[in-house]
Amino acid sequence: MTDPKQDRVLIFDTTLRDGEQSPGATMTHAEKLEIAQLLDEMGVDVIEAGFPIASEGDFAAVSEIARQAKTAQICGLARAQFGDIDRCWEAVKHAVNPRIHTFIGTSPLHRAIPNLDMDQMAERIHETVSHARNLCENIQWSPMDATRTEPDYLCRTVEIAIKAGATTINIPDTVGYTAPRESADLIRMLLERVPGADEIIFATHCHNDLGMATANSLAAVEAGARQIECTINGLGERAGNTALEEVVMALKVRNDIMPFQTRVDSTKLMNISRRVAAVSGFAVQFNKAIVGKNAFAHESGIHQDGMLKNAETFEIMRPEDVGLTETNIVMGKHSGRAALRSKLENLGYELGDNQLKDVFVRFKELADRKKEVYDEDLVALMRTASDPEADRIKLKSMHVVCGTDGPNQAKMTLIIDGVEQSTEQSGDGPVDASFKCIKSLVQHSARLQLYQVAAVTEGTDAQATVSVRLEEDDRIVTGQSADTDTVVASARAYIHALNRLLVRREKGGSDKREVSYKDAG
């Protein structure tokens, strides 16, 4: 329940724009719509859905998200160019509350890119923000690399943008260069020196290159910023962005010293964290604050003793506050379909009858191989649920011979467009041999960018979740699979990625942005 006496801080999520710019994190159209829906349901104030001018795919995703959103403002990004702004408006105009976010780099390094002097850039800002305001009442403007822009010039450009009609001024720490005190001083300076600053909202957008993104964002809020730009799991280029879950829970747990409110339902954080990790292929580190696997784990004897006597001795928030339900080992091979549906609903998955039927079959197969099925096993199972892009190539069977003596060999049969094809290959290890089998049957020139294995739970019968990322002709795809057999999971993840690659080939185009000078933060 929000306190009317406390200031609201708007949560601006850019997972689908800045987060997706993280190399290899490209999401499909359906995945973007799913994440946007979860963000909307969670109570995010603004969803930056994409960069409409970047590609036809980005435009289509932003446009569809704008149509489907129920409460969140839907924002699109645009460079300081009339064509970008017009394209952005075409995409977001269907939203209940649309927003145009336009930007230009104002630091000396970034002014040199378009080769504009200070006066020319000032004129460009006035013209483009005015143009955007003529299309939409809700305009956000960003001076990219603000933290390395000369203070006097930053004040000048912010004043121009406000006079031209900007309703939100975002101050990006584009390269994660600033520190908390400096972040706060920058907001205070703008509020004190810029005419009209008290009539608009200041936002903060921080990158995590020095590990201070969350601290810098909170410092800016204490100084007067009332919007935080962030991403789920801190996803983003280089070291990532401010993590949404961190600032939301920091404001909630330490409301005594930071008396600000958000409207985010924190109990939905764990579910959306898992979904973003799954669709992006970027696993959450175990010790990640709030949503990491170890965030609420206690191994030290002293800690465990304290937890048994009073959980508050070592926990400043409850697991259920972030949507983490206690792992309950009750699912097994005798569990029925109704029990599975109930458990999946508790984990945030709502399935239709046909979907449940498919998942139930695979759950039974897993339960036959594992004595106990944990919540994490079910989440992994859902990650590998039927994918509309995973139909052309299917694994029928495989047999692997490996060991310290002699070559490692794999025999494999794939069903490719309905036709069975088999091969046998040797390799440096069982996974290498398996991948060579697949490549010999499905000709491609894709380069393996990432091969990552993570155990879902403990024990020798634990499922392994494997992520595979491939790149071919500027197309980047990620495949995932989970299985109690690591080699089988690896083969299926590789096949999943190849299926997605075939779809990208048929659609044509590239996953890389078709415009340059792309990052507004």
> Would you say 323 and 346 are in contact if contact means Cβ atoms under 8 Å apart?
no
Query: Which tokens in the block code for residue 87?
Result: 């394209």
Q: What percent of the chain is helix, strand and coil (3-state, nearest 5)?
A: 45, 20, 35
* 310 is an annotated ligand-binding site residue: no
The dihedral built from the CA positions of residue 172, 175, 176 and 182, taken in this order, carries a sign that is negative
Tell whether 40 is in a known binding site: no
Dihedral angle, C-alpha 221, 223, 225, 231, nearest 10 °: -30
Domain ranges, ordered by start, for the chain = 15-228, 325-383, 393-507
Residue 334 annotated as lining a ligand binding site: no
Torsions phi, psi of 80, nearest 5? Answer: -80, 65
Residues sharing a CB contact under 8 Å with residue 501, sequence separation 6 or more, in sequence order: 444, 446, 470, 472, 475, 477
pLDDT, tens digit only, all 521 positions of the chain: 456 667 999 999 999 999 988 766 778 888 999 999 999 999 999 999 999 999 898 999 999 999 999 999 999 999 999 999 999 999 999 999 999 999 999 999 999 988 899 999 999 999 999 999 999 999 999 999 999 999 999 999 999 999 999 999 999 999 999 999 999 999 999 999 999 999 999 999 999 999 999 999 999 999 999 999 999 999 999 999 999 999 999 999 999 999 999 999 999 999 999 889 888 878 888 899 999 888 876 443 433 344 344 455 546 888 889 987 654 445 777 788 888 888 788 777 888 888 888 888 888 887 887 767 777 777 777 766 655 555 789 999 999 998 877 789 999 999 999 999 999 999 999 999 999 999 999 989 999 998 988 877 777 777 888 989 899 887 888 888 888 899 999 999 999 999 988 887 877 655 554 444 444 55
Residues 6+ apart with CB under 8 A from 306: 313, 314
Residue 514 one-letter amino acid = E
CATH value of 15-228 in 3.20.20.70, 3.40.50.300, 3.40.50.1450, 1.10.8.60: 3.20.20.70
Whether the CB-CB separation of 480 and 465 falls below 8 Å is answered with yes
* Token pair recorded at residue 280: 């992006």
Q: How far apart are CA 95 and CA 282, in angstroms?
A: 30
Residue 258: partners with Cβ closer than 8 Å, 6 or more residues away: 218, 221, 222, 250, 251
- In our burial notation (b when 16+ CB lie closer than 10 A, e otherwise), range 428-458 reads eebbbbbbbbbbebbeeebeebbeeebebbe
Q: Is pTM, for the whole model, over 0.85?
A: no
Kindly report, residue by residue over 116-130, the tens digit of the pLDDT. 999 999 999 999 999
Domain 393-507 belongs to what topology? Answer: Double Stranded RNA Binding Domain (3.30.160)
303 is in an annotated binding site: no
